[in-house]
Amino acid sequence: RLAERAGLSVGRLRLGVVTTAKYLVPGMLGPFCKAHPRVEVEFQVGNRSEIRERLQANLDDLYVFSHPPHELDIEAEPLADNPLVVIAPSEHALAKRGALTWDDVAAERLLIREAGSGTRHAIERYLESRGWQAPHRITIASNEAIKEAVTAGLGLAILSRLTLRHMAPGNLVELPVEGFPIPNRWYVVTPRGKQLSPIAARFRQYMLEQRHGSAG
């Protein structure tokens, strides 16, 4: 009751998260909304450039990015590790071999997210830092469609490991490729100095209390 009067457990909570974080944040929203049943949540999901636009237009209370747009005036707190892994259909020839190298992967078609995706940005930066190429590419603008396409045998992909967690077991496997996973991490982002509503400040704190991995 006291908390309610102080505005701590009522009101609207507007979140803008990148597509990989939609596999992370709902698991935190569940218990939080149970404890604060009168909070109305608006949960927006988009790729990095879409969520960056929402941030720039100040449309949401809190944001989750894995590559915070540091060219804007923001505060970014590490939230959780978001390793990017190479995936293949379980019946693929490479899935039956032991240790693999990038050359094994590069000989296959690689399904990769659209321009504007933080996942794509992270992959490109990493390949470039290693001097590795991905000559046979197909662009697909959704994590879900990429998983479907990999399952159907269209090629391999590099995706956030967390996007795999509700896949039917046995459809897809993570390949043991030297140099992988690509280390990557999510951050809770707010415009610097933004006065958060009490409920937004509380959820931000709750998320940071749930931190795990080396972000914790």
Residue 65 is a binding residue for ligand PGA (CB under 6 A) = yes
User: Are 41 and 33 spatial neighbours (Cβ–Cβ below 8 Å)?
Assistant: yes
Residue 119 is a binding residue for ligand PGA (CB under 6 A) = yes
- Amino acid residing at 13: L
Residue 102 is a binding residue for ligand PGA (CB under 6 A) = no
User: Are 45 and 15 spatial neighbours (Cβ–Cβ below 8 Å)?
Assistant: no
User: Are 165 and 24 spatial neighbours (Cβ–Cβ below 8 Å)?
Assistant: no
DSSP 45-86: EE-HHHHHHHHHTT--SEEEESS--TTSSEEEEEEEE--EEE
| Angstrom distances, CA of residue 45 to CA of 42, 88, 157, 161 | 10, 26, 21, 18
Site map 25..64 versus ligand PGA, x via CB under 6 A: ----------------------xx----------------
* Stretch touching ligand PGA by CB under 6 A, among 53-61, 98-106, 115-123, 189-197: 115-123
Residue 168 tokens, joined: 């039917």
CA gap 117, 110 in Å, rounded = 15
Number of residues assigned to the chain: 216
* Stretch touching ligand PGA by CB under 6 A, among 16-24, 69-77, 89-97, 169-177: 16-24
Of residues 66, 79, 156, 182, which one binds ligand PGA by CB under 6 A? 66
Residue 175 tokens, joined: 């390949």
Residue 67 is a binding residue for ligand PGA (CB under 6 A) = yes
| Angstrom distances, CA of residue 5 to CA of 9, 19, 37, 38, 175 | 8, 35, 15, 13, 53
- Residues touching ligand PGA: how many (CB under 6 A)? 13
Nearest to ligand PGA of 9, 19 (CB atom): 19
* Stretch touching ligand PGA by CB under 6 A, among 12-20, 87-95, 188-196, 200-208: 12-20
Nearest to ligand PGA of 47, 190 (CB atom): 47
Nearest to ligand PGA of 92, 113 (CB atom): 113
Of residues 36, 92, 113, 185, which one binds ligand PGA by CB under 6 A? 113
Residues in contact with ligand PGA by CB under 6 A are 18-20, 47-48, 65-67, 113, 117-119, 122
